[in-house]
Amino acid sequence: MTHSSLQSVTMIEMVFPDQTNHYGTLFGGHALRLMDKAAFVAASRYSRHTVVTACSERVDFKNAVHHGNLIELNASVISTGRTSMTVAVTLFAEDLISGERQLCAEGRFVLVALNEEGKPARVRSFTTKVAEEN
């Protein structure tokens, strides 16, 4: 398995009417939920531990996502601490008919690995992983 497959995840979702507001655009809270889910999967795959979200460091909304769009979420572990991982997440919207894509949100999430007792667990450092696989 390559380094990039351990640290990166791509997820695709469809935007349905119950996920949108009265303007027909995706609720911000739903976008955050999807971004956190992608970060969770990336951190879980990287660490091979149970993980929990410690914080969302920053999320910027850049463009609206409309009902009927596809959403592509890309999440990558970009750094590690002793027990934590920082995951960068981007959210792109794609019009199914035209194929037009645009960046709609990007953010960073910090997740902590847990052991079987629910206590923070050490994760392999990001630089160690890169060195081992090269």
User: Which burial class, exposed, middle or buried, applies to 124 when counting CB atoms under 10 A from its CB (0-12, 13-18, 19+)?
Assistant: middle
Among the listed ranges 2-16, 32-46, 97-111, 112-126, which one has the minimum average pLDDT value? 2-16
Return the number of other C-beta atoms located less than 10 Å from residue 87's C-beta: 31
pLDDT grade for 6, boundaries at 50, 70 and 90: low
Yes or no: domain 3-133 corresponds to CATH 3.40.190.290: no
Residue-wise pLDDT tens digits, 22-79 = 999 999 999 999 999 999 999 999 999 999 999 999 999 999 999 999 999 999 999 9
Domain ranges of the chain: 3-133
pLDDT at 126: 79
How is the beta sheet containing 84-94 ordered, strand by strand?
A: 8-14, 70-80, 84-94, 101-114, 50-61
